[in-house]
Amino acid sequence: MNLRAELKDVRRIVVKVGSNVVTKPNGKCDLRRLRIIVEDICELQREGIEVVLVSSGAVNVGRAFLEKHLPNKVVRQQCASAIGQPKLINKYSDLFEENGSICSQILLTHDDFRNQQRFLHGKETISTLLKNNVIPILNENDSISYTDISVGDNDHLAAQAAQMVEADLLLIITTAKGLYDRDPAEKDAKLIKYVSFGERMDHIDMRTKTATGRGGMESKIDAVSKATHVGVKCIISSKDNERILIDPLTSNSGTLFDINNDFNSDSRNAWLISTRRYNCAIDVSREAYECLINNGSLLSHGVLEAEGAFYKGDCVDLRYNGETFAVGMTEFDRSEVDLIKKMENCEVILKMNLVINGEINEKIS
């Protein structure tokens, strides 16, 4: 197999497939696409390339078996996942065995990434499975996940998994052919083939979202930014390719995102950045910004605003003038931050470890 020039050194890949890739609109598994995905993974395995699969679809499979009078949307999703997960993994298991391979199942929550001990246990488990030629299939544990332990969606789970297993590439398979300069449904929309690290994409409309998936292109780009920041190349490519996984690896298919070549690969830096909560941030004043970048501390009066649902132990963006300048691990929930910032002359410190420009600042506490 001749990998495209940009991927010639790739030896370990995390592949993420969305709900619309592996299931049909009626919730049934799309066996044709599942078979292609499995066959492609087995071919890569024979070529000496290790593959970790992050697969959505369990909730969509399980929905059809539930009555509509469930208490609320969250319970419905949790129950649908509990039904659909074994059905989906059984399909994968049968297909891998048909191709002479075996797969395994690992269900994760955000706690498994933000708790460093559990993070390391997960890394060891996946590494051992790969050494034994077993394909790990990952999914968020949606049957128990709720806001404070949810990764968010499988795009972010895949990005965090890619850093966890030290992958060379994150391949995201979706309904689109890649990243477009506007909604691909619009006339004259152009496919962007290559994105350099740090390239601004403010002008691109990424609000589109599928009916069954939790993520959209915006979520995918945010997940990609996590992975490329810690040295993992990324490709977003289409489920409609003849060889769903092989084509974007061997031809100029999809959108390729290049990496941050200057990143310090220290594992703690990577761990903090990859566990960053999607759409969660703390905006700080100029005084607080200058204090933080000079090894100071963040006091209550330096907090201007908090955004998103985050909890103690989560990594969030720190912003000044609307621009993210650091990633920090907070010891306070969002609700506590909202209370603290209202306290006048309060000396309570928002305790954080920070990554500023890729470097961990252990002095900030």
Domain ranges of the chain: 5-268, 277-361
Model confidence at 361: pLDDT above 50: no
- pLDDT at residue 117, rounded to an integer: 83
Indicate the average pLDDT of the chain: 83
Q: Which residues contact 30 (CB under 8 A, 6 or more apart)?
A: 21, 22, 23, 24
Whole-angstrom distance, CA of residue 274 vs CA of residue 222: 11
Q: Which residues contact 311 (CB under 8 A, 6 or more apart)?
A: 148, 333, 334
Of 92, 118, 109, nearest in space to 29 by CA: 92
Picking from 21-30, 145-154, 169-178, 294-303, which range would have the lowest pLDDT averaged per residue?
145-154
| Residue 274: band (very low, low, confident or very high) from pLDDT cuts 50, 70, 90 | low
For range 335-362, the mean pLDDT = 62
What percent of the chain is modeled with pLDDT above 70?
84
List the beta bridge partners of residue 107: 139
pTM over 0.85: no
Alpha helices, H only, the chain: 19-22, 31-46, 58-63, 73-98, 111-114, 116-131, 154-164, 217-229, 246-250, 267-274, 286-292, 334-340
CATH code matching the domain that covers 5-268, chosen among 2.40.50.140, 3.40.50.2300, 3.40.1160.10, 3.40.140.10: 3.40.1160.10
Whole-angstrom distance, CA of residue 255 vs CA of residue 99: 29
- pLDDT at residue 354, rounded to an integer: 63
Whole-angstrom distance, CA of residue 270 vs CA of residue 355: 9
- pLDDT at residue 207, rounded to an integer: 57
Question: What is the gyration radius of the CA atoms in the chain, in angstroms?
Answer: 21
CATH code matching the domain that covers 277-361, chosen among 2.40.50.140, 2.30.130.10, 3.40.50.970, 3.40.50.300: 2.30.130.10
Which position has the higher pLDDT, 296 or 245?
245
Whole-angstrom distance, CA of residue 318 vs CA of residue 291: 13
Which position has the higher pLDDT, 37 or 267?
37
Model confidence at 272: pLDDT above 70: no
Picking from 159-163, 257-261, 291-295, which range would have the lowest pLDDT averaged per residue?
291-295
For range 105-123, the mean pLDDT = 85
Cα 248–chain centre separation: 19
Q: Helix, strand or coil for residue 234?
A: strand
Whole-angstrom distance, CA of residue 6 vs CA of residue 69: 51
Model confidence at 86: pLDDT above 70: yes
| Residue 308: band (very low, low, confident or very high) from pLDDT cuts 50, 70, 90 | confident
